[in-house]
Chain A
Amino acid sequence: QKEVEQNSGPLSVPEGAIASLNCTYSDRGSQSFFWYRQYSGKSPELIMFIYSNGDKEDGRFTAQLNKASQYVSLLIRDSQPSDSATYLCAVNTGGWYAGGFKTIFGAGTRLFVKA
């Protein structure tokens, strides 16, 4: 059973701080990794994707991937109250060469940013 594990939280950080969200996955063959943000009652919104080991930065967000440790993380710098949401880690298995993907989502980490 392929799994994606996240700490459910809640993770509470003060405004302006760095929020660090972590995720581990079980399928060593996974190739692509995603972070989605989901506000209550809304659909997942893509924040970051990463395919290669190392860091990928986009504005206040940095995704980190370590395939050897099967670990993905998301850092949010200068956290804002509007960042308060559930952050979903998602991992693709399969591939375009196989005709499609199966995306496994973690249960999400709830983040609260206190003003």
Chain B
Amino acid sequence: EPEVTQTPSHQVTQMGQEVILRCVPISNHLYFYWYRQILGQKVEFLVSFYNNEISEKSEIFDDQFSVERPDGSNFTLKIRSTKLEDSAMYFCASSAGGFMNTEAFFGQGTRLTVV
């Protein structure tokens, strides 16, 4: 069964460092998303991406964040200068698109720990 894959599963980084989280969405999907979940809190939308550009983003997704689809398969989230409060589980998701295919399938997540 097709699945969304994320690497790495766990990333530890020093405050102020840049991190790149990587995702391979399901191959025939057109919409890509990043979410985060701080420990014990709700899943929060960060950004959606379609047709090689951001289509929606939340207030969390400030100038420190960027997304890219560098080739036909990968979808990345970059955090330029990490802060302690960026520590969270980051989930990538993808959906097929179209009016009746909006359900998103999640990867297993990358646990980001900023120290």
User: Which of A42, A94, A95, A107 is within 8 Å of B99, CB to CB?
Assistant: A95
Cβ B42 vs Cβ A101 within 8 A: no
User: Which of B44, B50, B91, B102 is within 8 Å of A43, CB to CB?
Assistant: B91
Q: A99: nearest residue on chain B (CB-CB)?
A: B55
Residues of chain A lying within 8 A (CB to CB) of residue B91: 43-44
- A-B contact list, 25 entries, CB within 8 Å: A34-B103, A36-B106, A42-B108, A43-B89, A43-B91, A43-B107, A43-B109, A46-B103, A46-B104, A46-B105, A46-B106, A49-B102, A49-B103, A88-B42, A90-B43, A96-B98, A99-B51, A99-B55, A102-B48, A103-B35, A103-B104, A105-B42, A105-B43, A106-B42, A107-B42
Give 1 or 0 for each of A75-103: 1 = CB within 8 Å of chain B CB. 00000000000001010101111111111
Cβ B102 vs Cβ A101 within 8 A: yes
Give 1 or 0 for each of B81-93: 1 = CB within 8 Å of chain A CB. 0000000010100
Question: Cα distance A42–B98 when bound, in Å?
Answer: 28
Question: Cα distance A90–B105 when bound, in Å?
Answer: 13
Q: How large is the interface on B (under 10, 10 to 19, 20 to 34, 35 or more residues)?
A: 20 to 34
Give the secondary structure class of A's interface.
strand
Cβ B49 vs Cβ A100 within 8 A: yes
User: Which of A34, A38, A42, A98 is within 8 Å of B55, CB to CB?
Assistant: A98
Cβ A32 vs Cβ B102 within 8 A: yes
Question: Cα distance A49–B98 when bound, in Å?
Answer: 14
Question: Cα distance A101–B48 when bound, in Å?
Answer: 7
Question: Cα distance A94–B107 when bound, in Å?
Answer: 22
Cβ B56 vs Cβ A51 within 8 A: no
Known contacts A99-B51, A100-B55; A43/B106 CB under 8 A = yes
